[in-house]
Amino acid sequence: MALQLRETKDSPTAKIQRWVDRHLKIIFTMPALLLVLALIIYPLVYTVQLALTDARRSTSRDKNFIGLENFTTLLTDTERFWPAVGRTVYFTGAGLVIETICALGLALLLRKAFRGQGIVRTAILLPLVATPVAVGMMWMLIFQPSIGVANVVVDWFGMPAQGWLSDPDQTLNTLIFMDVWQWTPMMALILLAGLSSIPEEPEEAALVDGASWFQRHIYVTIPMLKPAIFAAILLRAIDSLKTFDILYATKGAGGGSNHEAETLNVLAYSYSFDYQDYGIASAVLILFLILICGAVALVMVSSKAGSK
């Protein structure tokens, strides 16, 4: 009888059952993981393949392998590509700095309970409800040079009317303002969640020691909030680098007549759908991916250095 039980316990079916029990979580998640990997890897491999060819006009047309020629063309292009890189970095960097400062201020102000706090929080989050295209259309009307509200307000302060989106020198800064207006609440929400997890005892101890409001937040609150700050910066940096819709909605193809709002996303779109040069467009996207990976790595390294 004991021999029969041992054979049943050590049978192939029993071994498989024990293996399944030990790896149940992996088995259940593997189909979804494989699907996600397929959705990521296949487009990436196909984009790399196109970037190494002279694909244009139609993807069904015979393509010739040209190696790194598309990348060489882009890296020596000082008229469109490198200015687009500069605009992308400037748009992302300036927006991140302003959004982080404004979001931190909002989170600190909303941290303590006050009358009407729910209404204020709801009002602050309203920009997140609208789509970027709708936001772009709204601000286009506000910044319209002749009838827009912005120039009316500027006139109240005795300042001359501004070109805003129509002036190539002001366009990118105006777009950064629009981006800050829409996405600062998201960062404030993340920082507010981080503040709710911080214990109040260190601040109370600093208050007893005579520290001012500014000193308590600079030397106590913000250092403890660093993980949430870096998480918000990382999420927003990735999203900001990919910004396309609000740029295209306000300035159209090419980022305007002088390419004043042409970032790498807009440049890749122009090469794909305006010029139908899919090889160059794919090369732009590959270089753009490298830039995004570099930005993410920089934020993560800074996060680790700041936590030490």
Q: How many CA atoms lie within 13 A of 155 on its CB side?
A: 9
DSSP label of 159: P
CB atoms inside a 10 Å sphere around CB 205: 12
Indicate whether 125 pLDDT > 80.
Answer: yes
Distance CA 200, CA 205 (A): 9
Indicate whether 142 pLDDT > 80.
Answer: yes
Look over the chain and give the mean of its residue pLDDT values, rounded to a whole number.
Answer: 86
β partners of residue 86: none
Indicate whether 148 pLDDT > 50.
Answer: yes
CA distance readout (Å), 41 to 34, 61, 279, 295: 10, 23, 18, 21
Indicate whether 8 pLDDT > 70.
Answer: no
Mean pLDDT, residues 92-114:
89
| pLDDT tens-digit readout, 272-287 | 988 889 999 999 999 9
Nearest Cα neighbor of 229 from 97, 126, 67 is: 97
Mean pLDDT, residues 149-172:
88
CA distance readout (Å), 183 to 95, 171, 188: 9, 18, 9
Mean pLDDT, residues 249-269:
89
Mean pLDDT, residues 59-67:
79
**Which of the four pLDDT bands, split at 50, 70 and 90, describes residue 59?**
low
**Which of the four pLDDT bands, split at 50, 70 and 90, describes residue 23?**
confident
CB atoms inside a 10 Å sphere around CB 165: 26
**Which of the four pLDDT bands, split at 50, 70 and 90, describes residue 3?**
very low
**Which of the four pLDDT bands, split at 50, 70 and 90, describes residue 160?**
confident
Token code pair at residue 182: 């829409």
**Which of the four pLDDT bands, split at 50, 70 and 90, describes residue 85?**
very high
Question: Token match 């929400």: residue?
Answer: 189
Indicate whether 7 pLDDT > 50.
Answer: no
Amino acid at 250: T
Mean pLDDT, residues 2-8:
48
- Render the burial of 35-46: b for 16+ CB within 10 Å, e for the rest: eeeeeeeeeeee
Q: What is the pTM of this model?
A: 0.85
Determine the pLDDT at residue 308.
Answer: 60
Distance CA 236, CA 85 (A): 18
Mean pLDDT, residues 163-187:
92
Can you say whether the dihedral through the CA atoms of 254, 255, 256, 260 is positive or negative? Answer: negative
Alpha helices in 157-241 (DSSP H): 168-196, 201-208, 213-216, 222-224, 226-241
Distance CA 304, CA 308 (A): 7
DSSP label of 112: S
Q: Which residues, at least 6 apart from 31, have a Cβ–Cβ distance to it below 8 Å?
A: none
Check residue 256 and give left, alpha or beta (phi > 0: left; psi -120 to 50: alpha). Answer: left
